[in-house]
């Protein structure tokens, strides 16, 4: 472990953010080693920072959200008013785009851009990278745009959702071609 002195949670979270901004995405174990604290402490800090929308993480990496976070007040595609975007695009060197739903976001992106698309799990509200997710397409509840797409971090949760509300479970690789095949749909390159 490094020689970083033990600090309180707020100071340690500031150090964690500074590391991520300097180094880019890091694993939880690398953060643990560099900050000289346990992996569980890093997970607690990451969850706290994710709730403040300062970091995002998936099963293997943590990275800082580009600051300042400036999201539009309406969906970049359909114009629906947004209190808090359901989905957003994090681009390197470009402004973030906010979307009311996954349908609007995915119809605007090429499949290789899914690594920069973040959404919130329907059950846990946890932010995750769309490329790591599972999605229910065409379920009975209509959320916004059609076909409806509901995001889940865990496949089991997506499957449970379909038992009650119908639809099909697909992964991130299957999602863009599926939407592209819908009549009247187009995706940007």
pLDDT digits (tens, 9 = 90+) for 55-91: 877 655 787 776 544 555 777 777 777 766 566 565 5
| Residue 154 confidence (pLDDT) | 94
Q: Provide φ and ψ at 49, rounded to 5°.
A: -70, -35
Is residue 175 packed enough to be buried (19+ CB in 10 Å), middle (13-18) or exposed (0-12)?
Answer: buried
Helix H or strand E encompassing 55: strand 55-57
Distance CA 7, CA 181 (A): 53
**pLDDT at 41 exceeding the cut of 90:** yes
* Buried/exposed code over 159-174 (b: 16+ C-beta within 10 A; e: otherwise): eebbeeeebebbebee
pLDDT per position as a tens digit, 122-175: 888 787 778 888 999 888 876 667 778 889 999 999 999 999 999 999 998 887
The whole-chain average pLDDT of the chain stands at: 76
Residues in the chain: 189
Give residue 1's pLDDT.
Answer: 47
Q: Provide the β-strand partners of residue 119.
A: 87, 128
Q: How many Å apart are CA 111 and CA 180, to the nearest integer? A: 11
CATH number (3.40.47.10, 3.30.420.40, 1.10.10.10, 3.40.50.2300) of 9-64 reads 1.10.10.10
Domain spans of the chain?
A: 9-64, 87-180
Rounded to an integer, what distance in angstroms lies between the CA atom of residue 182 and that of residue 137? 12
CA distance 114 to 8: 36
Q: Mutual orientation of helices 9-23 and 39-51 as an angle, nearest 10°? A: 80
């Amino acid at each position: 472990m490094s020689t970083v002195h033990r600090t309180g949670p707020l100071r340690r979270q500031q150090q964690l953010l500074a590391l991520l901004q300097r180094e880019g995405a890091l694993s939880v174990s690398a953060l643990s080693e560099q900050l000289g604290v346990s992996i569980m402490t890093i997970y607690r800090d990451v969850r706290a920072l994710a709730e403040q929308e300062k970091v995002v993480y998936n099963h293997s990496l943590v990275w800082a959200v580009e600051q300042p976070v400036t999201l539009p007040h309406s969906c970049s595609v359909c114009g629906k008013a947004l209190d808090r975007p359901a989905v957003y695009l994090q681009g390197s060197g470009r402004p973030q785009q906010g979307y009311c739903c996954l349908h609007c976001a995915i119809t605007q992106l090429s499949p290789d851009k899914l690594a920069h698309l973040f959404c919130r799990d329907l059950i846990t509200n946890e932010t995750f990278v769309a490329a790591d997710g599972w999605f229910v397409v065409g379920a009975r509840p209509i959320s916004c745009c059609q076909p409806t797409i509901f995001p889940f971090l865990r496949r089991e949760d997506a499957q449970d959702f379909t038992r009650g509300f119908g639809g099909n479970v697909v992964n991130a690789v299957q999602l863009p071609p599926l939407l592209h095949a819908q009549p009247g749909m187009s995706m940007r390159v």
